[in-house]
């Protein structure tokens, strides 16, 4: 009887582990499907704006244009991961079932931000980004501030992503884990400053926008600003997330 009981317990444990694995796998599949659609839309926008309308050479699609798309894509994913909580509070019937996707969206968004960082370093020359350099080839104030805010955002998001790893999350106190996750809003503020410093000069000259299409940096700014604004609304409404 005891042996049968032990075997039964093992079967239950294996069954529970299998269910958890299937659930995680299902969540990742959902996130990847959503992400693929979003990336196609973002990449198409960048391609149309810069290659088709502005006339940037097609030889720059693999890195220069793709980097712009990846940057905006990472912002969209991270914004979604932060927006789902507040939206679930205001519209529970629609968004509560989507809450488990937050971690996966955030981790994928951080991964895309890391790829954006690597691609940017490969391209970071006066030939590609002249507005970041002075005549001597050194970084000017715009370049240094933009890089400073981008680096600060990346390292804060790295801490948030690290504590999202299940093995690390399990070993943390719940209150400490929540505090660290919410530091991500500070990182998003740094990303806001990153794109603001980088693109504000071009934003103020709409007549120069190719086809009247918003600069990608401005699109990112609007998405981040709306995300942070909703967070402020939640704080003042007294709703907890």
CB neighbour list of residue 228: distance below 8 Å, 6 or more residues apart: 185, 188, 189, 192
Chain segment 94-116, per-residue pLDDT in tens: 888 888 899 999 999 999 999 99
Chain segment 135-162, per-residue pLDDT in tens: 999 999 999 999 999 999 999 999 999 9
* Domain at 205, CATH number: 1.20.120
Give the chain's mean pLDDT.
88
Q: Domain of 68?
A: 2-237
∠ CA 168-174-175, nearest 5°, is: 125
Backbone torsions φ then ψ of 133, nearest 5 degrees: -125, 150
Please report which confidence band the pLDDT of residue 90 belongs to, taking 50, 70 and 90 as the band edges.
confident
Reference 75, options 96, 46, 52; nearest CA is 46
Chain segment 184-195, per-residue pLDDT in tens: 999 999 999 999
Please report which confidence band the pLDDT of residue 8 belongs to, taking 50, 70 and 90 as the band edges.
very low
Backbone torsions φ then ψ of 43, nearest 5 degrees: -65, -40
Spatial distance between the Cα atoms of 26 and 63, rounded to a whole number of angstroms? 31
For residue 171, what pLDDT is reported?
84
As for how many domains the chain has, the answer is: 1
Chain segment 39-50, per-residue pLDDT in tens: 999 999 999 999
152-163 burial, b at 16+ Cβ within 10 Å, e below that, comes to bbbebbeebbeb
For residue 122, what pLDDT is reported?
96
């Amino acid at each position: 009887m005891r042996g049968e009981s032990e075997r039964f317990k093992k079967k239950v444990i294996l069954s529970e582990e299998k269910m958890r694995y299937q659930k995680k796998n299902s969540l990742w599949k959902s996130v990847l499907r959503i992400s693929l659609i979003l990336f196609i839309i973002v990449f198409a926008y960048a391609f149309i704006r810069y290659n088709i309308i502005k006339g940037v050479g097609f030889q720059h699609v693999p890195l220069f244009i793709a980097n712009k798309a990846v940057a905006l894509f990472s912002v969209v994913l991270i914004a979604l991961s932060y927006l789902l909580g507040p939206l679930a509070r205001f519209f529970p019937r629609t968004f509560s079932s989507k809450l488990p996707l937050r971690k996966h969206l955030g981790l994928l968004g951080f991964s895309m931000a890391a790829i954006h960082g690597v691609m940017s370093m490969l391209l970071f020359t006066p030939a590609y980004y002249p507005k970041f350099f002075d005549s001597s080839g050194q970084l000017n104030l715009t370049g240094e501030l933009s890089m400073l805010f981008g680096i600060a955002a990346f390292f804060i998001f790295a801490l948030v992503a690290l504590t999202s790893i299940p093995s690390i999350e399990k070993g943390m106190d719940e209150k400490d884990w929540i505090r660290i996750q919410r530091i991500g809003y500070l990182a998003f503020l740094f990303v806001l400053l990153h794109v603001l410093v980088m693109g504000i000069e071009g934003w103020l000259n709409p007549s120069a926008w190719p086809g009247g299409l918003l600069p990608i940096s401005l699109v990112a700014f609007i998405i981040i600003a709306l995300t942070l604004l909703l967070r402020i609304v939640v704080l003042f409404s007294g709703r907890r997330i």
